[in-house]
Structure 1
Amino acid sequence: MSGAPVLVGCSHGTDNRRGREAIHAILADVAAARPDLDVREAFVDVQQPEVADVVAGALADAGAAVVVPLLLSVGFHVKVDIAAAVDVPGAAAALPLGPDDTLVDILADRLAAAGLRDDDALVLAAAGSSDPAAVPAVEAMAAGLAARLGRPRDAVVIGYGAGATPRVPEAVALARAGGRRVVVASYLLAHGYFHDRVLEAGADVVSAPLAPDARLAELVLRRYDEAAVEVAATPTG
């Protein structure tokens, strides 16, 4: 293998224009931060090109590829779609972006920009997954956010868009039980289907998604570097 593995940034895909632009901005920031890297975009649903095709092209061109899931937790797309795409010599998958302290920092900044007050009730809204492994990842983020804001862990109510309960509208109703204003922290990477559902969930304030944010590129590169070591150490046959 000569040179560094191709970095394949793989997201879910969305029909939402703002969401597409935000995800593309992450990879543009990655390319700007590391101009020596070949950075390519791939998707597991909705958009093209598919991740398996991008990995195949990267292997043909460079002999090695690392797929960085532009996803916030382990789930079906990481364990099935991306895992299948890298099940070839010279390819590997990095860990998903979350949970991570960088994401906690961005969430806290989004809430500050949205006008979070000390007496507000707080809901952390996640997309959710049918994979049980995604739940501990979201709970870790809720704990990190609570600590970052100086609140008890149980002061951050978790709501899911799908795959787990309570759903976001239920979480908002639960948080409102004390009669306080309810603010939702959008633990979502970009605008799209799930963020639209969060906006309809009955909260008083909803923070912006995580992207775009230059810190996401730093996180992507950290995940890439961790997995690139594995690729370099694996014989390609």
Structure 2
Amino acid sequence: MTTLVACSHGTRSPAGRTVIARIRTALAAAVPEAALREAYVDVEQPEVAGVVAEAAAHGPVVVLPLLLSTGFHTSVDIAAAVAPHPSAAAAEPLGPHELLVRSLRDRLAAVSGGDAGHRPGDHVVLAAAGSSDPAAACAVERMRDLLAARLPAPVTVGYGAGCAPTIPEAVARARAAGARRVIAASYVLAPGHFADLVERAGADLVSAPLGDHPAVIAVAAARFRQACLALTAPAAG
């Protein structure tokens, strides 16, 4: 049986920990063929490298980043955790993915009564955590494009850290461009530091984190199975 290491960032937020636990529970039900383990890259324990080393001694391992974009934690922390083990591989992060548009739109609908992005004068800011890795900004821009294709309102991006513009700057720019209502679409998984930044950015409405939305779980399961195929491909050939 393949071990699925569901690796999140880690948070001090009790609410955030609860949401991540719900994601892991839903993911375990979605991939019954895997043995699910938890791991973290920061703040919480167990640390991902130790979990991978232990699991790899008993069989194949896939580390699934419970992260919405690539960045330092995927390219350095998780990559370093799997590198020493031929039977271990890292899955792609959850985003960007077209299925996540469904979760974003549902969260926007919940905060607005169903009309977010559809009322004249609306402007949606896709509010992401951000990273110093340029690839992360590219990933978020791709997610913006996917969301913009499904909303009549303008959609721009704001970041919590590492990239420009910041979320407050993106909100201010939307208002300066004539927006009557600015809605921040929280492109974060769970409550915590970055969700708090989105809440304080000055938007008129702020959607909830994506959490354990069914589309998030579907993407996570697909990322895991894709990584399993890649891990077994050399043996099959």
TM-score (norm 1): 0.92
Q: What is the match of residue 200 of structure 1?
A: 200
Q: What is the match of residue 142 of structure 1?
A: 144
Find the aligned partners of 1:69 and 1:170 in 2 and give their Cα distance: 29
Q: What is the match of residue 122 of structure 1?
A: 124
Q: In angstroms, what is the RMSD of aligned CA positions?
A: 1.3
- Structure 2 residue matching 1:172: 3-state secondary structure: helix
Amino acid at match of 2:129: A
Does residue 185 of structure 2 align to residue 188 of structure 1?
A: no
Q: What is the match of residue 74 of structure 2?
A: 78
Q: What is the match of residue 230 of structure 1?
A: 230
Does residue 3 of structure 2 align to residue 6 of structure 1?
A: yes
Does residue 59 of structure 2 align to residue 58 of structure 1?
A: no
- Structure 1 residue matching 2:37: 3-state secondary structure: strand
Say how many residue pairs are matched: 228
| Runs (5+) with no aligned partner, structure 2 | none
Deviates more, 1:165-174 or 1:31-40: 31-40
Find the aligned partners of 2:123 and 2:196 in 1 and give their Cα distance: 20
| CA displacement, residues 108-129 of structure 1 (integer Å, 9 cap, x when unaligned) | 1111111114222211100000
Shift of 1:234: 4.2
Q: What is the match of residue 160 of structure 1?
A: 159
Q: Give the conservation status (yes or no) of the 8 Å contact 1:90–1:234.
A: no
Q: What is the match of residue 103 of structure 2?
A: 106
Q: What is the match of residue 216 of structure 1?
A: 216
Amino acid at match of 2:68: L
Amino acid at match of 1:8: V
TM-score (norm 2): 0.92
Q: Give the conservation status (yes or no) of the 8 Å contact 2:3–2:62.
A: yes
Shift of 1:179: 4.8
| CA displacement, residues 77-127 of structure 1 (integer Å, 9 cap, x when unaligned) | 000000000002100001000000111110011111111142222111000
Q: Give the conservation status (yes or no) of the 8 Å contact 2:174–2:182.
A: yes
- Structure 1 residue matching 2:96: 3-state secondary structure: coil
Amino acid at match of 1:132: P
Find the aligned partners of 1:179 and 1:150 in 2 and give their Cα distance: 13
| Runs (5+) with no aligned partner, structure 1 | none
